[in-house]
A and B are shown apart, each in its own frame.
Chain A
Amino acid sequence: MQLDDLYRRVIMDHYKNPRNRGTMNEESVTINLNNPTCGDRISLQLQVVDGKVTDAKFSGEGCSISMSSASMMTEAVKGRTFDEALSMADRFSSLMKGEPVEFEELEDIEALSGVNKFPARIKCATLAWNALRKGIEHQQD
């Protein structure tokens, strides 16, 4: 078990300098999600226009993995259609299972592949993506 596999430089960069951290004032979709086992919580806001995510912001509290994952997710999802965003969420699930997947949208995300070797931390990494999925599915209903 190598800590460096988990805490890669790019992850720590997103943790230290989170992208899209904050809140949106305009009409936006807000999803609040908790990780009840550990107390992490995220509030994700999506600006949605014609089946597309035009902007994304997040706030909340959590560990380096959950917060950096939220930073990457919001960065990657901006400008994507719902289908493209859901495809990324699916690929992220695969990444957490240790399957080789690529994120052309934002290669940084691939750095989280190391989380797979730390089963207790997978829920941290998937929190933001679950919020995204929930938000989009709610829009599609």
Chain B
Amino acid sequence: MNINAIREQFPILHQEINGHPLVYLDSAASSQKPRSVIDAVKRYYELDNSNVHRGVHTLGSRATDAYEGAREKVAKLLNAGAPEQIIFTRGTTTALNLVATSYARSVCKEGDEIVITPMEHHSNLIPWQQAAKATGATLKYIPLQPDGTISIGDVENTITPNTKVVSVTYVSNVLGVINPIKDITQIAHRNGAVMVVDGAQSTPHMKVDLQDLDVDFYAFSGHKMCGPTGIGALFGKKALLNKMEPFEYGGEMIDFVDLYESTWKEIPYRFEGGTPIIAGAVGLGAAIDFLNEIGFDEIDKHERLLASYAYEKLSALEGITLYGPEQNRVGLVTFNLEDVHPHDVATVLDSKGIAIRAGHHCCQPLMRWLNVSATARASFYLYNSEEDIDRLADALLQTKEFFGHAIG
């Protein structure tokens, strides 16, 4: 993988921040966009823009083709099978809320269980909390091992025949751990539950095969995988989607409307009320093309190298705590420096042109599990290099010195 050639394609990376060349280490929050994605969105607006699925005119057909073409690209990327099983949404949050509302709230009743884990992002936690409250179902958590991993024994012990929904993240945005989704799915299915997966941190970085995993629902966001903000998707198995009520009512999603009754379109349109996110889908399609051209095996390999390099470099620093397992992790490192709050770390790093995330990472229950109020996180993507990590490690050393000196 030629990092310099890849970096060339990301215009935003070639600038100085506070007098230093930018080192962007916050891709787990949102990735940067290559020229091809920016151009695809621009080209769509300059040449093809129109509404979809209704215009008789040529632009209407072009916009529809572009939008549906993007749906096919998503289906193929995830090996999802029939493209109508892909519903475009604003992102992972909306996709998970859709499942929690249209599926879980109609299926769950008192005595049923919804099973999640303490490492979930708020977007895969609160929708289930609310669904449990609304239906009287019990929310249960699969406990975590001391290193933040999930043991299959705990999964077996938590999921029961009363469990209706299991929802787990494929990759933790804090711990970097990759969860055994295929095994958890088998246990969920054996107990008659559906399996929902938060794919926000997996889809950008690794090959995902939904038919092999056999999950029932899978959600992800475009903006974390080189695509635009405001576009993501939900995969749902056809048989389940066909039974579900719409999430939003309005234009585009109806079959026949009368004064007092209406009927809905077939899937996926039933779940895409209103003018869809057409330009976003076009941009996401371009992002998928871009990533496919480089290859997910290459991306995965590169990021694992960066992760282990970062783990090695950072763990050599005195007074640093790294969170999450050392093995089987994606390209992110979550840490704390002794006696320096992560916000202060992030501010000092920013003054040196290095962008990292500090805070609770939308994982407050996980922060409590780790027994910290906040952490710092450096996350890597295909455009990052070992040199970026060297600069991070140097800057962290300077941060320690600065604060050691400042607070004496």
Contact = CB atoms under 8 A, between A and B. Distances in A.
A124 B343 contact: yes
Interface in A1-55: 1-3, 6-7, 9, 12, 15-16, 37-41
Interface stretch (B48-56, B173-181, B236-244, B400-408): B400-408
A38 B359 contact: yes
Nearest to B408: A16
Given A38-B358, A38-B360, A65 B343 contact: yes
A41 B342 CA distance: 14
A105 B344 CA distance: 27
B374 A64 contact: no
Contacts of A6: 347
Interface in A31-87: 37-41, 61-65
B373 interface: yes
Contacts of B341: 62-64
A118 interface: yes
A7 B351 CA distance: 12
Nearest to B17: A1
A121 interface: yes
Given A1-B351, A63-B341, A64-B344, A40 B406 contact: no
Task: From A1, A3, A9, A12, name the one whose CB has the most chain B CB atoms within 10 angstroms.
Answer: A3
A63 B407 contact: no
B343 A38 contact: yes
Given A3-B402, A7-B406, A16-B408, A40 B373 contact: yes
Contacts of B277: none
A120 B347 CA distance: 9
Contacts of B18: 1
A13 B405 CA distance: 12
Contacts of A7: 344, 402, 406
Interface residues of A, number: 23
Contacts of B408: 12, 16
Contacts, number: 55
Nearest to A38: B359
Given A39-B360, A63-B341, A15 B407 contact: yes
Contact of B373 (A2, A61, A65, A121): A61
B3 to A, nearest CB: 28
Contact of A39 (B19, B348, B367, B406): B367
B364 interface: yes
A12 B367 contact: no
Given A3-B348, A38-B374, A63-B343, A12 B360 contact: no
A37 B348 CA distance: 19
Contacts of A2: 351
Interface string A116-134: 0010110010000000000
Residue among A6, A39, A64 with max Cβ neighbours from chain B (10 Å): A39
Given A7-B406, A12-B406, A63-B341, A39 B347 contact: no
B373 A3 contact: no
A118 B358 CA distance: 15
Contacts of A118: 347
A7 B406 CA distance: 8
A41 B297 CA distance: 42
A9 B408 CA distance: 10
Contacts of A1: 18-19, 350-351
Contacts of A40: 343, 373-374
A63 B344 contact: yes
B374 A39 contact: yes
B167 to A, nearest CB: 23
Contacts of A121: 343, 347
A62 B348 CA distance: 16
Interface of B: 18-19, 341-344, 347-348, 350-351, 358-360, 364, 367, 373-374, 402, 406-408
24 contacts: A1-B350, A3-B347, A3-B348, A3-B351, A3-B402, A7-B402, A7-B406, A12-B407, A15-B407, A16-B407, A38-B343, A38-B358, A38-B359, A39-B360, A40-B343, A40-B373, A40-B374, A61-B373, A62-B373, A63-B342, A64-B344, A65-B343, A118-B347, A124-B343
The 10 lowest CB-CB distance pairs between A and B, nearest first, are A63-B341, A63-B343, A39-B360, A61-B373, A38-B359, A16-B407, A12-B406, A1-B18, A39-B374, A12-B407
